[in-house]
Structure 1
Amino acid sequence: MSMQRAGEAVEVLLIEDDPAIGGHLRTGLLANGYEVRWCRTGEGGLAQARQSAPDVVLLDLGLPDTDGVDVARTLRGADPEVLIIILTARADEIDIIVGLDAGADDYLVKPATVTVLLARLRAHLRRRPAASAGTAPVRLGDLVLDVDARRCLLGGREISLRPKEFDLLAALARRPGVAVSRDDLMAEVWDEHWFGPTKTLDVTMAALRRRLGDGTGVTVPVITTLRGHGYRLETPL
């Protein structure tokens, strides 16, 4: 079955310098209906991304010319919507946190099978936003969240959120004042069968709080941490 989105095949940019791993991934992706462009350096991958605007980037961190974390950060800055999945041998928790904080949506540690990678891709692509007509914007104090347009306004000024940051805020804003468990947030924002690091929720939450904290002189709903349970978006007075 061809993997498609909006009537077109999903384009994957693979940035991997190892010929054996790269070839194996490319073959598996092509066999499952993805379009694949393969680059072996970070600079080459960035040039290709500027040229073709891929839907997905599969990124190794140990590249010969630059650190993959810097590549992820540049990719995210250029395209807030691109799906970035890091695929690397770096397994330490600090590396996972740095990779996610640089803008990656997912982090898989080698050796990860093509089957696992394909499952993660399908899960993420299922959760890519689709327009839904007629949904009224959520208003909480000076925060306005337009889910249909995927816009976040704070005091009339638009706040740029990464895809998962927006999804996380939307999940909380749909039920203000309600305690939402970590498990429910992971299932709703990521995937009900998520088996990657749950630290991704903490990293995304920290980034979301920083972005909402940029507003001055406005009423911002506070996200309260509920130790041992999850989070609650407080309704402004």
Structure 2
Amino acid sequence: MSRHDPRADRAAPGKGLVVVAEDDPAVASLVRLYLDRDGFGVETYGNGATALQAIRSHRPVAVVLDIGLPGMDGIEVCRRLRADGDRTPVLFVTARDDEVDRVLGLELGADDYVTKPFSPRELVARVHAVLRRSQPDDAAGGRHTLGPVVLDAAQRRAWNEGAEVALTATEFDLLAHLVRQPGRVWQRDELLGAVWGYSAAAGSRTVDVHISQLRTKFGAGCPIRTVRGVGYAADERGDVR
């Protein structure tokens, strides 16, 4: 059975609705409290099937999704959303660090993750970060082209050799950040700060996994190259690992 917060029905929550899928009542209550304090409308659900139905019905601005949900787990919920073409930002909650590659993997397209135990303030900060990455960046301006890759900052769309490539908000921002300054080499902690908005203490695996996703999606046309022992850069030499 789902657990629904009546406060989520308030008219026009200031920052939009966040669906939280978490089967631990204590964790769900804490996450709801902190998101509510920050101005979000919140609905909490204790299993994957009802959470998926709610996401499809209510169109939240973001989803906080525990992996270990009963019945339909969080990974399956995200997979079905992405199969529907739903690009709502998804932040996974996982109790196992070795699941990170899975939850951020190409077949799911999650935007970020936190591992238990986590700070509820950090989770709220991560929600804000994925929402920022899902919005058009007018300051970035126009289109950016590098080799066969074209990015439209206003529409947040990407093409490779004329064919559109579907990207998550995080994937788009990472690629755009590299493409806007071709040839510059970025360390992983610099990319974490610039794209994700948090420090290297969060770990560099997130950067590596998203780079891997972009390379898979763009294939030989991917402009990102690895600079051994330093980090990553984008240039017309393309995918050099």
- Give TM-score scaled by structure 1 length: 0.84
Report the CA distance between 1:85 and its aligned residue.
Answer: 1.3
The alpha-carbon deviation at position 70 of structure 1 amounts to 1.6
Aligned counterparts of 1:141 and 1:130: Cα–Cα separation in 2 = 23
* 2:198 is the alignment partner of 1:197: no
Aligned to 1:97: 101
* Equivalent position amino acid for 1:206 in 2: S
Q: Taking structure 1 as reference, are residues 141 and 8 closer, same or farther at Cα in structure 2, changes over 3 Å only?
A: same
Corresponding residue to 2:146 among 123, 126, 140 = 140
Report the 3-state secondary structure (helix = DSSP H, G, I; strand = E; otherwise coil) of the residue aligned with 1:9. coil
Please give the per-residue CA displacement for 1:182-204, whole angstroms capped at 9, x wherever unaligned. 22211111114354332111111
AA in 1 matched with 2:100: I
C-alpha separation in 2, matches of 1:133 and 1:27: 34
8 A contact 1:221–1:236 mirrored in 2 = no
How far 1:115 moved relative to its partner?
A: 2.2
Q: Larger deviation: 7-16 or 35-44?
A: 7-16
Change (3 A) 1:108 1:136: closer
Structure 1 equivalent of residue 128 of structure 2: 122
Structure 1, unmatched stretches of 5+, are: 1-6
Q: CA deviation at 1:84?
A: 1.2
Instruction: Give the 3 Å change call, closer, same or farther, for CA 131–96 of structure 1 in structure 2.
Output: closer
* 2:40 pairs with 1:25: no
Residue 36 (structure 1) aligned with residue 42 (structure 2): yes
C-alpha distance in 2, partners of 1:86/1:134?
Answer: 28
Please, which of 167, 189, 211 is the counterpart of residue 217 of structure 2?
Answer: 211
Q: Does the CA-based 8 Å contact 1:80-1:163 persist in structure 2?
A: no
Letter in 2 for 1:125: L
User: C-alpha separation between the residues in 2 aligned to 1:108 and 1:171?
Assistant: 23
1:65 Cα deviation (Å)?
0.4
Structure 2 length as normaliser, TM-score? 0.83
1:111 aligned counterpart, secondary structure: coil
> Deviations for 1:145-172, whole angstroms, at most 9, x for unmatched residues?
1111111122222111111111111111
The more displaced of 188-197 and 153-162 is 188-197
2:113 is paired with a residue whose SS is strand
1:188 aligns with 2:189: no
Q: State the percentage of identical aligned residues.
A: 37
Q: How far is the alpha carbon of 1:119 from its aligned partner?
A: 2.6
The answer for the alignment partner of 2:56 in structure 1 is 50
2:214–2:222: 8 Å Cα contact kept in structure 1?
Answer: no
SS of the residue corresponding to residue 17 of structure 1 reads: coil
Q: 1:131: how far off?
A: 4.0
Cα distance in structure 2, aligned partners of 1:170 and 1:31: 32
Amino acid paired to 2:229: G
Summarize the Cα distance change of 1:78–1:155 in structure 2 as closer, same or farther, 3 Å threshold: same
Structure-2 change in CA distance of 1:98 and 1:137 (3 Å)? same
Q: Is the 8 A contact 2:183 2:233 kept in 1?
A: yes
Q: Of the candidates 151, 157, 164, which is equivalent to residue 163 of structure 2?
A: 157
Match of 2:228 in 1: 227
Question: What one-letter code is carried by the residue in structure 2 that aligns with 1:186?
Answer: L
* 1:10 positional shift: 2.1
Question: In angstroms, what is the RMSD of aligned CA positions?
Answer: 2.3
Structure 2, unmatched stretches of 5+, are: 1-12
The 2-side partners of 1:105 and 1:30 are apart by: 21
Aligned to 1:13: 19
- Is 1:172 matched up with 2:173? no
User: 1:107 touches 1:196 (CA, 8 Å); kept in 2?
Assistant: no
Query: In 2, distance between residues paired with 1:74 and 1:52?
Result: 16
